[in-house]
Structure 1
Amino acid sequence: MKNKKLVLFSIVIVVVAFFTASYFYKTNQENSLKSFKNMNKAPFVRENSVTFGENKSNVVIVEFMDPECISCKLFHPVVNDILKQYYKDVKLVVRYLASHDNSEYIIKILEASRAQDKYKQTLDVIFKYQEKWSNQADPQPELVWQYLPQAGLDMEKLKKDFLAIDISQILKQDYEDATTLNVRGTPSFFVNGKELETLSYKAFFDLVEKEIFE
């Protein structure tokens, strides 16, 4: 009986310690984010960051994403819905956290597409066919090229820009900013500096709409 009580007491201590640590982590994270007062500047936004939206309501959404991340693909329609519904109100900022084997190759294509103002269309196509080019059993990122014409790109120009572009500094800076913001995975979102804690349609819309209408 004493052993059972001791085990139970130990479990309670572990649970309390876990929730205490979680509470302090969350508090420290919130305080850390509050120290970055301007959402339109580093570490949230850089001059070379991809942005969408008119931002008439001064609502800045920052997404750290990886084009080879399955969760990023699954959540991409939610991001598109936000832009469709609140394009005039928000600014969406796309940042990278490349953590998969083929991420840099695909990001290089994305950055090259910016020269034709086709970034969003290219990203849509890349996510649409992610299962084709990122097959874990036999990944072949070059397969994505056969689908890219669907984005309305000048393919010859894209190939030239792809070969010429250097994204090393972009990836380095985005990684450093992600580290500063304690980003631990993709996709991760910040809305006016507030981190999206639950990756769900409702939670995302609730956070964005709160910043727009309150």
Structure 2
Amino acid sequence: MTHRPLILPIFALALALFAGAAWFVSRPNTQIATVPPEVAEALVRPWSPVLGPENAPVTIVEFFDPACEACRAFHPIVKDIMAEHGDAVRVVVRYTPFHGEVSEVAIRVLESARMQGVFEPVMDALMREQPRWASHGGMRPDLIIRIAGEAGLDVAAAEAQIRAPDVVAVLNQDRADVEAVGVRQTPTFFVNERPLDPFGEVELRALVAEEVRRAGS
């Protein structure tokens, strides 16, 4: 008895399986890695400060510590990305007070600025002057509200606003969201719920550009 008649069918089956496996490996990767739904829910809150158009199709979420040197370095980069893509991109700022009291004071002042409608110029001023009030050689939280006042903050109104229960609630919820999302360093970015990994300026620009293209297709 011979097994010769089985050789051709077995060979044909093996060839088909190989071709299928080759297609599976080489096919385009259409899946986009985003965060789980429970994490996505914690990325943006209704009170979170927004820079850019509210209805922009691409959302950059930045977990941000105003006393963080890397956040200061990325501040002009983020603004340049917004300018490059115009109405297609907005930035949602999440507070991450990793530098203790000085960060918390700056966040309270930024919240007061948000209430007064001067969040962006005050944020710009605090980033520009960060070496004055957040130097590792000597923290100066007393300078923060003065710098903010020079950028348009009503200091008299802010004195009451920074102590308001609503501001405390924002700080507490943002701390809880930092834990829920698993943020360990600042800045940490998400673009349309996609984490920036690996981290870097080139990678952030590329990820935003990719999402802008996808939104326009």
Write out aligned runs for 1:1-214 (5 A).
33-36=34-37, 42-54=41-53, 58-101=57-100, 102-164=102-164, 166-214=166-214
Q: What is the Cα deviation at residue 57 of structure 1?
A: 5.2
Report which stretch shifted further, 166-175 or 61-70. 166-175
Partner SS state of residue 207, structure 2:
helix
Q: Could you tell me how far 1:95 is from its partner in structure 2?
A: 0.4
Please state how far the C-alpha of 1:55 moved relative to its aligned partner.
5.5
Say which SS state the counterpart of residue 87 (structure 2) adopts.
coil
- Contact conserved, 1:55 with 1:87, CA < 8 A, in 2? no
* Runs of 4+ off more than 4 Å: none
The DSSP-based 3-state class of the residue aligned with 1:167 is helix
Give CA-to-partner distance per residue, 1:164-193, whole Å, 9 cap, x none: 464332222222222222211110000011
157-166 or 143-152, which deviates more: 157-166
Whole-Å Cα distance in 2 between the matches of residues 34 and 198 of structure 1? Answer: 15
Residues in 1 aligned to 2:194 and 2:177: alpha-carbon distance in whole angstroms: 15
Alpha-carbon distance between aligned partners in 1 of 2:151 and 2:165, rounded to the nearest angstrom: 19
Deviation at 1:38, TM superposition (A): 9.8
Structure label with greater radius of gyration? 2
Report how far residue 96 of structure 1 moved: 1.1
Q: Secondary structure at the match of 1:88?
A: helix
What percent of counterpart residues are identical? 32
Counterpart residue identity of residue 59, structure 2: V
- Structure 1 residue matching 2:60: 3-state secondary structure: strand
Name the CA shift for 1:209/1:109 in 2 (closer, same or farther; >3 Å): same
The 3 A distance-change label for structure 1 pair 146 and 172 is closer
Report if aligned partners of 2:61, 2:190 keep a CA contact under 8 Å in 1.
Answer: yes
Q: Kindly provide the amino acid, as one letter, of the partner of residue 54 in structure 1.
A: P
- Provide the rounded CA distance (Å) in 2 between the counterparts of 1:211 and 1:180: 24
The TM-score with structure 1 as length reference comes to 0.76
The 1:176–1:146 alpha-carbon spacing in structure 2 relative to 1, beyond 3 Å, is: closer
Deviates more, 1:94-103 or 1:142-151: 142-151
Structure 1 residue 208: Cα displacement? 0.4
Equivalent residues, number: 182
Alpha-carbon distance change, 106 to 73 in structure 1, aligned in 2, over 3 angstroms: same
- Counterpart contact for 2:81–2:205, Cα < 8 Å: yes
Structure 2 unpaired stretches of 5+? 1-31
- Whether the aligned pair in 1 keeps the contact of 2:61 and 2:93 (CA below 8 Å) is yes
